[in-house]
Amino acid sequence: MRVKGVTSCPNVVLHAWLEAELSSILASLPPPRMLREDDHRAAWERWQAGLTVKPTLPDELPPLRMLLVMDNLAGHLTARFVVWLFDHGIMPLYTPLSGSWLNMTESIQRIIAGRALAGQTPASSAELIEWLETTARAWNTDPTPFEWGGRRQARRERAYRRRHPLGGSGACTRKPIRRRLQFMEQWQRSSQVTH
């Protein structure tokens, strides 16, 4: 996790920080595989398939090196920033409107903020920044892996299996319902015993 506390974050500040951090990440990656120009373009276009917002790809593209999932804010769509991303082999993928839950960064932000504050009230913005940056450094020493679904989804599936649908209404009960077929089978067995 890469964090930099600031008191205000206009696009000029955010994009400069993002560019520096992304450059650092790219420098740590192995060199890209060199492919034919058509294959490079196909790799980029594959990630645009199905998107409602498709940035126009430049004529010449470097090898695709990274996917960057970002909120669909106007500042993230500025031509200068998008061109910088393309020039460095980074494909921006924007979450749909009201779809910030698709960006796991939102979840991590909530966790870090909750841990940093932990029932405390900072006396100044500098103190809050220090707490957040310290918490992020601690997170990096033992990060929690994120995966879609995970244990929460497994719990929901177990709870759903314990419910019994009522007719076709979508309502459920926790007690098993005697179905007509089961009732008929029991009735037939009991009537055979009495004969």
Segment 4-31, tens digit of pLDDT:
888 988 888 989 999 999 999 999 999 8
Q: Look at phi and psi of residue 54 and say left if phi exceeds 0, alpha if psi is from -120 to 50, else beta.
A: beta
If one counts the domains in the chain, the total is 2
Q: Is residue 6 part of a domain?
A: no
Confidence of residue 162 (pLDDT cuts 50, 70, 90): confident
| pLDDT digits 0-9 by tens, 127-148 | 999 999 999 999 999 887 777 6
Looking at per-residue pLDDT, the higher value among 38 and 177 belongs to 38
Q: Say yes or no: 83 and 123 in one domain.
A: yes
Q: What pLDDT, on a 0 to 100 scale, did the predictor assign at position 17?
A: 93
Q: Say yes or no: 190 and 116 in one domain.
A: no
What is the value of pTM for the model shown? 0.67
Encoded tokens for 97: 């409107």
Question: Could you say which of 141, 158, 181 is where a domain stops?
Answer: 141
Q: Say yes or no: 163 and 131 in one domain.
A: no
- What is the phi/psi pair of residue 93, to 5°? -120, 120
Looking at per-residue pLDDT, the higher value among 168 and 58 belongs to 58
Q: Say yes or no: 67 and 114 in one domain.
A: yes
Encoded tokens for 75: 């500042």
Choose among 59, 49, 47, 103: nearest CA to 83.
59
Q: Say yes or no: 125 and 104 in one domain.
A: yes
Q: Say yes or no: 38 and 134 in one domain.
A: yes
Q: Say yes or no: 182 and 93 in one domain.
A: no
- Please answer whether residues 172 and 166 qualify as being in contact, where contact means their C-beta atoms are separated by less than 8 angstroms: yes
Q: Say yes or no: 58 and 111 in one domain.
A: yes
Q: Where are the beta strands (DSSP E) in 14-138?
A: 66-70, 90-94
Q: Say yes or no: 88 and 34 in one domain.
A: yes
Host domain of residue 75: 11-141
- Please answer whether residues 68 and 91 qualify as being in contact, where contact means their C-beta atoms are separated by less than 8 angstroms: yes
Amino acid, single-letter form, for residue 72? N
